[in-house]
Amino acid sequence: MFKKILVANRGEIALRVIRTCKEMGISTVAIYSTADKESLHVRFADEAVCIGPPSSSESYLSIPKIMAAVEITNADAVHPGYGFLSENADFAEVCEEYGIKFIGPTASMIRSMGDKITAKETMIKAKVPVVPGSDGQVKSVKEGLKDAKKIGYPVILKATAGGGGKGMRIVNTPEEFAEQLEKAQIEAGASFGNDAMYMEKFVEEPRHIEIQVIGDQYGTVAHLSERDCSVQRRHQKLVEESPSPYMDQKLRLKMGKAAIAAAKAINYEGVGTVEFLVDKNRKFYFMEMNTRIQVEHTVTEEVINKDLIKEQIKVAAGEKISGKNYFPERHSMEVRINAEDPYNDWRPSPGHITSFHSPKGHGVRVDTHAFAGYTVPPYYDSMIAKLICTAESREECIKKMQRALDEFIIEGIKTTVPFHQQLMKDERFKAGSVTTKFLEDFDLKPQ
């Protein structure tokens, strides 16, 4: 087992990783920017190293600075958390070269899922269902038009270097094809330095359902069931739950099997998530694979009663898994509390938290780095807390969530709490009839 893990992240996930390390008897190193010097992850770690000024590119995204912190503290592994360098193959590769265990898959596994055309080709070979689309790259308007006609409009153009919704364009008619392709290429070139595009049939009003998987270093892969993340706004998830209200055991077994095949196709090691689009006929299609621990791993932890960070560290250290799949035994839901004003176009609302009281009681979990007196810096992600409620049924879970949200006191900044309070009373949401389009028509009522 590792002796010392450097946590290459900040905020709630840095705390989350430190907690499990303590329980496992592993010592921890925090890294922090000058904006985070009063943060809890710095206080709770055994050691802490300041790695630079507030800007992410000069701190949490700086590979040389993080490797210097690894070297001076003698850490033998790095936990990247989510975001920042968690899916950066170059960082994983540098760790490999220095003999430091990157807690996650290898650089080559990250690369094979990072390029979406390659990932899709790999899935086709592994017989994982994918959305019908172009055969590889869309090389010209002429070829693209021919493909689109075959596939049938509407189609969606996606950047091969993209993911998470960046560099995507929907094309409804042949007349707008050339214009949308050019716009998408310019956007992709500017964001990723790679303007290669591919095309798919546009699946209308899909659900976003993802399967959690875990693989060990000996080729065994298991799935830990699904999370439904259909409540999103501009590709930012706001609510995640397990099980999915749309799921039945038959579909769960099929999607679980497909997710395992996806992971096995790249010899996957670590915890990961296979994202699927699910259409109104319950047909599912591979979208992408996230090669990291995700924000919403908590709902899976609650329904299968396992610490996923602990499992992640164990497989990274070379332990074997049994290969047993896990199924939800309860219902769990997470809402993201962001320092944003939902009633002012979701504008970021960083600043000083004057009072902070988190909900408590049976079935209520709050993962947060915030406290009364904490100042939310403007430089990073706006998520300040995750409220996770768990109960016997979805209905009970929503009632608990309403109760818990009513107990949440955060003063000094605006947050997404009132949005979630409104959502938990929405009839469509309560009926579980939610697709990724749901929030586009959601009427935000000023509080």
Answer whether the bond into residue 129 is a cis peptide, omega within 30°. Answer: no
Q: Does 412 bind ligand MV4 (CB under 6 A)?
A: no
Among 7, 103, 156, 304, binds ligand MV4 (CB under 6 A): 156
Q: Does 288 bind ligand MV4 (CB under 6 A)?
A: yes
Q: Provide, rounded to whole angstroms, the least separation between the CB of residue 97 and ligand MV4.
A: 31
Mind telling me the catalytic residues?
292
170: which residues sit within 8 A by CB, 6+ positions away? 154, 155, 156, 157, 180, 202
Q: Are 395 and 389 in contact (CB under 8 A)?
A: no
Among 202, 346, 419, 438, binds ligand MV4 (CB under 6 A): 202
300: which residues sit within 8 A by CB, 6+ positions away? 212, 224, 225, 227, 242, 306, 308, 332
Q: How far apart are the first and last CA of the chain?
A: 51
Question: Can you tell me the distance from the alpha carbon of 27 to that of 2, in angstroms, rounded to the nearest whole number?
Answer: 9
Q: Does 436 bind ligand MV4 (CB under 6 A)?
A: yes
Q: Are 209 and 284 in contact (CB under 8 A)?
A: yes
Please give the backbone phi and psi of residue 245, each rounded to the nearest 5 degrees, phi first.
-65, -15
Q: Which is nearer to ligand MV4, 41 or 158 (CB)?
A: 158
Q: Which of residues 104-133 bind ligand MV4 (CB under 6 A)?
A: 131
What DSSP string runs through 395-411? HHHHHHHHHHHHH-EEE
Q: Provide, rounded to whole angstroms, the least separation between the CB of residue 172 and ligand MV4.
A: 13
Structure tokens at 447: 């509080």
Q: Provide, rounded to whole angstroms, the least separation between the CB of residue 391 and ligand MV4.
A: 25
Q: Does 280 bind ligand MV4 (CB under 6 A)?
A: no
Site string for ligand MV4, 159-198 (x = CB under 6 A): ----xxx---------------------------------
Q: Provide, rounded to whole angstroms, the least separation between the CB of residue 116 and ligand MV4.
A: 9
Q: Does 287 bind ligand MV4 (CB under 6 A)?
A: yes
Mapping DSSP to helix (H, G, I), strand (E, B) and coil, where does residue 337 land? Answer: strand
Q: Does 235 bind ligand MV4 (CB under 6 A)?
A: yes
Mapping DSSP to helix (H, G, I), strand (E, B) and coil, where does residue 335 land? Answer: strand
Among 87, 195, 200, 240, binds ligand MV4 (CB under 6 A): 200
Q: Which is nearer to ligand MV4, 152 or 378 (CB)?
A: 152
- Interface with ligand MV4 (CB under 6 A): 131, 156, 163-165, 200-203, 206, 208, 232, 235, 277, 287-288, 436
